[in-house]
Structure 1
């Protein structure tokens, strides 16, 4: 049996999170290490390790995550100003929890490129 991720434990209410949205497919909660005034994580209730593991059967789930982001943005009043969504994939993409998740960031103007290059530790 594969060990549950922290996100699976949040879905199962084994550990607490500041949940801001939930439906039958997805759950959204505040990031513990926010990188913007608004930083939410939107996760599918189905465990999918990374973007590389998305199958054709998961297409509606992935679209749903983006729909949830738009609904939250509208509900919370930052849709018109704009926001950023990001899904990291694997180590070089910045993924640290292997349960896909969509970052929803808002509340400030973002530039491009979004990140500085990460230096590998020797």
Structure 2
């Protein structure tokens, strides 16, 4: 079910539970502002999720309310995860869904990193 990105943050969402250690994950990276792990239902040979540790529903929410340090730290974490996974060459795709039209499924900001094969066009034609 798609998420309304304007809704209040729900601390019972699956990513909040992962951050609290209530649900296991295959952690790849963690720092003060970000946590990265393998997606349990990969859509590409490499499918990594990077989430902020703060309570943000979507990219819109994050860009409006997060501190400059959180925003910079999160952006750097996404890049670092991709580099450390060896994805810069031959390339990767970043995706962050916001709201129902994008089919955002979890009401916690998350960036997908897809790689490991030619990914084709961005949107179905």
Fold match by TM threshold 0.5: yes
1:69 CA displacement: 2.3
Task: From the superposition, tell whether residues 60 and 85 of structure 1 become closer, same or farther in structure 2 (CA, over 3 Å).
Answer: farther
* Alignment partner of 2:53 out of 30, 45, 58: 45
1:61 CA displacement: 2.8
Indicate if the aligned counterparts of 2:47 and 2:115 stay in contact, CA closer than 8 A.
yes
Unpaired runs of 5+ residues, structure 1, are 118-122
Show the counterpart of 2:88: 79
Indicate if the aligned counterparts of 2:94 and 2:114 stay in contact, CA closer than 8 A.
yes
1:115 CA displacement: 3.1
Under a length normalisation based on structure 1, what TM-score does the superposition of the two structures give?
0.83
Distance 1:52 1:32 in 2: 25
**Cα RMSD after superposing both structures:** 2.0
Under a length normalisation based on structure 2, what TM-score does the superposition of the two structures give?
0.82
Task: From the superposition, tell whether residues 91 and 18 of structure 1 become closer, same or farther in structure 2 (CA, over 3 Å).
Answer: same
Count of aligned residue pairs for this structure pair: 116
Answer with 58-67 or 80-89: which moved more: 58-67
User: Are residues 1:4 and 2:12 paired?
Assistant: yes
After the TM superposition, which parts of structure 1 deviate over 4 Å for at least 4 consecutive aligned residues? none
Indicate if the aligned counterparts of 1:30 and 1:39 stay in contact, CA closer than 8 A.
yes
